């Protein structure tokens, strides 16, 4: 029996379009209907863009019929996080502060993807102004987690991951400043790619922290992420053929990343390491004191930059914000400019130390998150629970942003537990090849 379209990977759908087995117009209608009719649809999509999707699908169908497809994903529908500008359609970044904001042009990555044939289904809900890894947003909507609809899905690309996990999009485009692609991907048993800072344009992307903001895909497979990276950048897709773990050298990061692991993520991580080892990988344990020092700088770097960008907008109407997010932004007002500059300079030094320490490894391994998805209602009612879970949710993913790594999170086969592979900046092609082989070992 053929696999339902809502369960197929983006790559599989693209191949079916190429073979003439799927019409892009019918495919777009299928996902628009799924998003409209699904009981969680309004918690996942902030708004659909049916007119745009239908027009783009019609063009893709004509190209397919003429044998002129522009990309392996030409005609495949995608969802977009609600911080990517889309011409004539509201882009509000999950915040009442930006309600009714309608840009006049697409974000550059959306322009690039559209020119190569992507079909834009709509904009997905997200954490308010992207400043939380939980995915809790009482201002607009809190999307569900695929493994527990009473739990948060991870953020800030919360609706992006949910759209894929619930079969309402074949793949999604999100952003990652401190873990915002990887946490929702991991908690919804998906693959997520945090790209190197600056690799993909953030022009037309509502910012959180320019120094750390990145664009990245969430999908069902490593192959999908490789094709989506190509689609967003306008480059040739990485070659994943023949990927193997035989002789691969991995380092398990012991510093900070394994502290305070909850039982389920700890078990999933150990099981994943055993599978990678059985597939031929050599695994070494390493410590990296520079990682702990970098993490201590996060409370200076992220809030100071975020408030510098958003302070005037926030203070014009602070009552419109979720108080916990408001407090997090305002913590940036307590940071002197000298402390921020000192922290930035020190981070540059720490990155160089980490790069030298890890240069001989194919990837650095760590659990994507130390915790499972927290309960949404409890986060709303228990302050201590909110603080502890919010900090732990992003602790491991933030390492990748601080150390300027590209990072791939893979499902481990244990619900809501991801395995992260980190490698040096601009190493996406190698990382995706390694990830392809690791995906096979873990599946």
Report the catalytic residues: 81, 156, 180
- DSSP symbol at 79: E
Rg (CA), the chain: 20
For residue 421, what is the enclosing H or E element? strand 418-423
- As to burial, measured by CB atoms within 10 angstroms (0-12 exposed, 13-18 middle, 19+ buried), residue 50 is middle
**Contact in structure between 239 and 437 (CB atoms under 8 Å):** no
Could you count the other beta carbons within 10 Å of the beta carbon of residue 59?
18
Would you state the structure tokens that stand for residue 154, as one six-digit string? 């991870």
β-strand pairing of 119-124 with 172-176: unpaired
Phi, psi of 63 (to 5 degrees): -65, -40
What order do you get walking across the sheet with 45-48 strand by strand?
45-48, 119-124, 77-81, 172-176, 214-219, 191-194, 406-411, 418-423, 363-367, 249-253, 282-286
Can you tell me the distance from the alpha carbon of 370 to that of 392, in angstroms, rounded to the nearest whole number?
6
Q: Please choose, from the candidates 206, 207, 172, the residue with its C-alpha nearest in 3D space to the C-alpha of residue 101.
A: 206
């Amino acid at each position: 029996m053929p696999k339902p379209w809502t369960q197929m990977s983006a790559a599989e759908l693209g191949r079916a379009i190429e073979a003439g087995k799927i019409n892009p117009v019918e495919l777009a209608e299928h996902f628009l209907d799924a998003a409209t009719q699904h009981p969680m649809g309004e918690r996942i999509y902030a708004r659909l863009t049916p007119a745009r999707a239908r027009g783009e699908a019609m063009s893709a169908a004509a190209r397919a019929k003429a044998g002129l497809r522009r990309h392996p994903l030409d005609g495949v529908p995608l969802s977009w996080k609600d911080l990517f500008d889309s011409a004539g359609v509201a882009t509000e970044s999950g915040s009442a502060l930006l309600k009714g904001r309608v840009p006049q042009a697409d974000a550059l990555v959306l322009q690039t993807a559209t020119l190569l044939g992507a079909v834009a289904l709509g904009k997905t809900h997200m954490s308010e102004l992207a400043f939380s890894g939980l995915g809790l947003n009482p201002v607009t909507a809190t999307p569900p987690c695929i493994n527990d609809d009473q739990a948060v899905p991870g953020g800030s690309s919360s609706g992006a991951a949910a759209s894929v996990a619930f079969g309402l999009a074949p793949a999604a485009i999100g952003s990652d400043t401190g873990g915002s692609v990887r946490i929702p991907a991991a908690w919804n048993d998906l693959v997520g790619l945090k790209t190197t800072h600056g690799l993909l344009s953030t022009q037309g992307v509502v910012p959180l922290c320019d120094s750390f903001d990145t664009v990245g895909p969430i999908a069902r497979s490593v192959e999908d992420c490789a094709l989506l990276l190509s689609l967003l950048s306008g480059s040739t897709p990485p070659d994943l053929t023949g990927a193997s773990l035989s002789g691969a050298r991995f380092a398990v990061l012991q510093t900070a990343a394994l502290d305070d692991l909850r039982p389920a993520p700890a078990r999933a991580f150990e099981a994943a390491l055993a599978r990678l080892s059985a597939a031929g990988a050599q695994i070494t344990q390493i410590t990296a004191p520079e990682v702990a020092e970098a993490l201590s700088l996060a409370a200076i770097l992220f809030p100071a930059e975020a408030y510098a960008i958003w302070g005037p907008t926030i203070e014009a109407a602070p009552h419109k914000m979720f108080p916990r997010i408001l407090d997090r932004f305002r913590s940036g007002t307590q940071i002197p400019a000298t402390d921020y500059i000192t922290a930035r300079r020190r981070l540059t030094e720490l990155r160089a130390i980490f790069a030298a320490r890890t240069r001989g490894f194919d990837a650095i391994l760590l659990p994507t998150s130390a915790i499972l998805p927290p309960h949404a209602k409890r986060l709303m009612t228990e302050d201590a629970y909110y603080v502890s879970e919010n900090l732990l949710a992003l602790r491991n993913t933030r390492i990748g942003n601080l150390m300027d790594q590209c990072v791939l999170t893979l499902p481990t086969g244990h619900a809501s537990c991801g395995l992260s592979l980190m490698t040096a900046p601009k190493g996406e092609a190698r990382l995706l090849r390694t990830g392809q082989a690791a995906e096979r070992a873990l599946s």
